[in-house]
Structure 1
Amino acid sequence: MRSSSGAVLNIPANAFLDVNGDLVNTHVELAFREFYHPLEFYLAGVPMTYNDNGEEKVFESAGMVELNASADGHELFVNPAQIISVDLISWSKSPEFNLYDLDQATGLWVDQGKDSISVSEKAAELEQLPPIPAMPKVATPYSFKIKDDTNNFPEIDIYERVLFDPVNPSKCGVSNATEMRINLLDSGIFEVISIIDAFGKYQESRCLCYLAFEQGEDYDSALEIYQAKYASLLSEREALADDINLQWDEYQDILDQHRKAQIKSLSGKEKIIRTLSMNKFGFVNCDYPLSYPQGGLLTPYFVDEEQNPITLNEVVLVEQNTNALFRYTSTIKYNPDNENVMWGLTPDNKLAYFKKEDFDLLSKSSKKQTVTMHISEKELLSYEDIMKVLF
């Protein structure tokens, strides 16, 4: 099962249990969400802090999902003998991240160990497609025939009406010989071997070739036979190639979102998939605990652009190249060397925000200072609306 964003849900048989621990054999409804960006964490209200040996840290996420299941309106549970897994597109292949389940009762994250990581490149994936024989070629000046004048090698008689066209003429050294061998390689290309074994001399020359035919009836007939013979294989290979290209297109779309938001500098040359095991339904996160930013301390007195005081009970800060969300209710820690975006909600639920160019104007002092927030007067109805304002 594949989501619109490219995540793959791997659901084995007998994966669901009811409240009594019995297998569920009726229709199951799934609710599934993916989270790739700090703004998504914020809007979902997901807690992203973690107690690391007494120090409060913030999770940087390499991938997070929420999965729930129900049947006939009743909550279902994971069968520990048949674990569901999710293959999730990620920006990081670092092994330092761990899997965490969110305990809904306490709001705390529970360490579940490591996920598995796979890294691939598009060209390599396409190279793994089932090989197909090369299409027949129209004969060129380099094409040659093979004929057995000795009648000692009947196995090459089947090639009497075809030509061989070298893949690379400059590396083709076949010539008149005492024996000719022809091997069909997995790639569908033919290896022609000419052997001289006479007067105490033994020499082999090899040439990789396509099958070729003279332009006209011979070629048209050969092409028709080829298409009929390999129609099923060609169709299967095309479908597999389309699926690979679609997955890479979806991957690029997600990378583009990160680039526009300036969250991660990603090349897109590699596709990174992290496999998250669902030990329980709810939120599962692949995270690394980060300390709060260092270098700058801001004790804010918030005002709007008309210098009217505004109340922000909480603000959140996002750093470029860090897929994490830092929440503050008083003194704000930030790194002046990073590109930062900060926002909060006014009492009348308007978005107040502070961007990189605003941080550049701050005093380096940790004393209380006026922080002029921009207030969005537009009605923000969607995630995309908010993204356009903040990033």
Structure 2
Amino acid sequence: MSKRYDFRDRIPPLSSEEITRHKDFDALLQAFEGGRKPEAPVRRLRPWVVAAAAAAALLAGYLLWWPSPGTSYEQLAEAFFSSRPFIAPPLPELEPPSEVVTVNAEQGGVYEFSSGSRIVVPTAAFRDDKGRLVEGEIQLHFRELLDPVDFFLAGIPMGYDSAGTHYLLESAGMLEVYATQNGQRVSLAPDKELLVELVGRVLVPADQTEPPPYNVYYLDPAEGNWVYRGTNRTKWFGSASDADDEPEIQSLMQEREEQLQTLYRQKTEALEELERRVPPPPKPRAPQRADRNALVFELDLSEMQGADEELLAFKREFQGMLWQLAPGQNLSDQDLVAPDGSWDDMRLNPIDELEYELVLIDKEVERKVRVRPVLTGEDFDKAQQAFQSKMQTWQRQMEERQARIEQERAALEAEFAARQAALEKELDERIARLRAQGLDYAANRAIIQRKVLNTFRVTSLGIWNYDKPLSPILARNTVRFKDQHGRLLDNTQGWLVNKNLNTVNRFFVSAKGTPLIINEPEGEHLLWILTSENKIALLPPERFRTWFEAPERQPELVLTLVDEPLDSEADIRRILNL
């Protein structure tokens, strides 16, 4: 195609009918005055008054929180923790990171993470802070917290208050999930939910055949407490891993692990293929009104490259369709003028549902600009009405698509659940036959760590936890803590871990004495305190056991101050041996 193109301003003048239709100046004045808000009177404060008020407030706060000699431990702990955010990472630079995936907010999809966990996002699932449907791409942030080191570094309390009783929650897996667009948080629509399969870990006896029951809790930061949200579906993920098994049993367990992982990948691929097999209907293109402050012009689409059928049909329906420069390009009229006065050729490249790239060609010169098709007057009003009707049809088609996907997804879930059950049964029978021949666990009551797959539905973005409440306090002793140099540890926080339980008990450290709560006496207990210099003072399990089993427990515990930098999570795990 070779034509000569030039550009002229093509916005038609307003007709007398359009001028008359918008000539109600009384109504305009009334709308303007009705929208005004009375201005608040400006009050000027003298600087010395402000300074005096600030000093008084500071002094009042100092007096309010300065502990009197009779202040109880509970009051000190309440003042300490209430002065900090409910979720307060003790070493913010080492806070566990999130994995981030990009999601088409309108289409949703299935997303798998490096741990094997995955999340299913429905279509049109997010709203902005004004309740409007979020369109385009969003970033989904997914963070898994699986063991005491994760809980410690994330600063998430594991205490749970229910009916006046304080419990400690033992976790089978915790996650934080939230979404952003352009750096701003978006929320989950009230009628939408995310399906999550979280690979967690539990500590169980080696011969336990079924995963223990767990509840689902949502962390309500406003209430400062975990909120019970029911029970969840938990099943083993892979097989038990016990180094004391005979080689034949180890081989079968490894085989089961690999086959289950293969089956899980096949299931994920099948669900992703389902999303592709049932594609979303094309979204109607919203009409754009011409801006009288922008450069507006006509284009002959009859022979232009890149003019798609939808655009041509739009032009046939609205003969008065014009084009204007997209905002943000800082171009003038002269930038669209060819070197010799007119362009030899042009082509259009679609960018998105609103814009095209217009390529202007003159011999060896190419100039690229972003443009939008626009309408004026009655053409725009007519197109807007048609768009609303098409949007209703599109939303109905999206709902029908979602219903079909949910139905087929349920069938796939059932199919793969049956295949997994058959696979596990066959391998369990083979392992049982080997054990009947004398190949058994060397220590079948050992506590081992096993992976579980927790399945639940997220109804609010935030932090979710699979837990079971541990029994109330079994032992309580008041002790004071010192380091090896004789320095008393005070006004900070400490953590106590039982290596047989997947949780961490955070407590306030007071030089006046700290009530040490022990929920389960069996197992290896590890205690550490973070000093004001961000160093760890440590009481290892053997010294804790010696103190705990003594006929008369000493009122002081000497911790070892570890004089090493805490530069990474690996440093924390190495020092704590967790």
Q: What does residue 265 of structure 1 align with?
A: 447
1:7-43 alpha-carbon deviations (Å, 9 max, x no partner): 1121121121222333211210122210001121111
Distance in 2, Cα, partners of 1:110 & 1:336 = 28
1:39 alignment counterpart:
149
Q: Show the counterpart of 2:462.
A: 282
Listed one character per residue, the Cα deviations across residues 223-268 of structure 1 (whole Å, up to 9, x for unaligned) are xxxxxxxxxxxxxxxxxxxxx9xxxxxxxxxxxxxxxxxxx93365
The correspondence of residues 226-241 of structure 1 with structure 2, limited to 5 A, is: none
Contact 1:78 1:278 in 2 (8 A): no
SS at match of 2:124: coil
Shift of 1:339: 0.8
Cα distance between partner residues in 2 of 1:342 and 1:28: 41
Alpha-carbon deviation of 1:301?
Answer: 2.3
2:516 corresponding residue in structure 1? 332
1:385 aligns with 2:567: no
**Which segment is superposed worse, 92-101 or 39-48?**
92-101
1:308 aligns with one of 481, 487, 491: 487
Report the 3-state secondary structure (helix = DSSP H, G, I; strand = E; otherwise coil) of the residue aligned with 1:385: helix
Aligned partner of 1:11 among 104, 107, 121:
121
Structure label with greater radius of gyration = 2
Residues 1-391 of structure 1 aligned to structure 2 (within 5 Å): 1-92=111-202, 94=211, 96-119=213-236, 121=238, 123=256, 125=260, 265-266=447-448, 272-292=452-472, 294-295=474-475, 297-311=476-490, 313-329=492-508, 330-334=514-518, 335-362=520-547, 364=550, 369-391=555-577
Distance 1:127 1:276, change over 3 A: closer
1:46-75 Cα deviation digits (max 9, x unpaired): 121111221100111111000111112322
- Contact preservation (8 Å) 2:138, 2:179: yes
AA aligned opposite 1:119: W
Q: Which residue of 1 aligns with 2:392?
A: none
* CA distance in structure 2 between the aligned counterparts of 1:26 and 1:127, rounded to whole angstroms: 33
Inter-CA distance 55–85: structure 2 relative to 1 (3 Å threshold) = same
Q: Helix, strand or coil for the counterpart of 1:352?
A: strand
Structure 2 spans left out of the alignment, 5+ residues: 1-110, 203-209, 239-254, 267-419, 421-445, 509-513
- Judged with a 3 Å threshold, the aligned counterparts in structure 2 of structure 1 residues 339 and 118 are, in CA distance, closer, same or farther, namely closer
Shift of 1:283: 0.3
* Contact 2:177–2:461, Cα closer than 8 Å, also in 1: yes
| More strand by percentage | 1
* Paired residues of 1:56 and 1:291 also in contact (CA < 8 A): no
With normalisation by structure 1, the TM-score equals 0.60
- The Cα shift of 1:337 comes to 3.4
Cα contact 2:172–2:452 (8 A) shared by 1:
no
How far off its partner does 1:4 sit?
Answer: 2.0
TM-fit CA distance, 1:366: 6.5
8 Å CA contact retained: 1:88, 1:273: yes
Letter in 2 for 1:332: L
Identify if the C-alpha distance between structure 1 residues 80 and 356 changes in structure 2 by more than 3 Å, giving closer, same or farther: same
Compared CA separation, residues 378 and 94, structure 1 to 2 (3 A): same
Task: Give the 3 Å change call, closer, same or farther, for CA 120–105 of structure 1 in structure 2.
Answer: closer
Aligned residues: 256
Take 1:116 and 1:362, find their aligned partners in 2: how far apart are those partners? Answer: 40
Deviations 1:275-301 (A, max 9, x none): 132111110111111135524x43222
Structure 1: state its 5+ residue gaps: 131-243, 245-263
Percent identity between the two aligned chains: 29
Secondary structure of 2:137 counterpart: coil
Letter in 1 for 2:260: E
In structure 2, give the amino acid aligned to 1:390.
Answer: L
For residues 287 and 34 of structure 1, the distance between their equivalents in structure 2, rounded to whole angstroms, comes to 14
The offset of 1:120, in angstroms, is: 5.3
> How far did 1:361 drift?
2.5
> Do the aligned residues in 1 keep the contact of 2:219 with 2:462 (CA within 8 Å)?
yes
Shift of 1:80: 3.6
Amino acid at match of 2:122: P
- Write the deviation string for residues 320-359 of structure 1: whole angstroms up to 9, x where unpaired: 2201111233111235432100111112221111111111
CA contact (8 A) 1:319 1:338 kept: yes
CA 7–389 in structure 1, closer or farther in 2 if over 3 Å, else same: same
Matched residue type, 2:522? D
Question: For 1:126 and 1:31, how far apart are their aligned partners in 2?
Answer: 24
Amino acid of the residue matched to residue 345 of structure 1?
L
The whole-number CA distance in structure 2 between the counterparts of 1:126 and 1:283 is 27
Contact residue 311 and residue 347 of structure 1 kept, 8 A: no
Counterparts of 2:262 and 2:219 in 1: how far apart (Å)?
40
Structure with more helix by fraction: 2
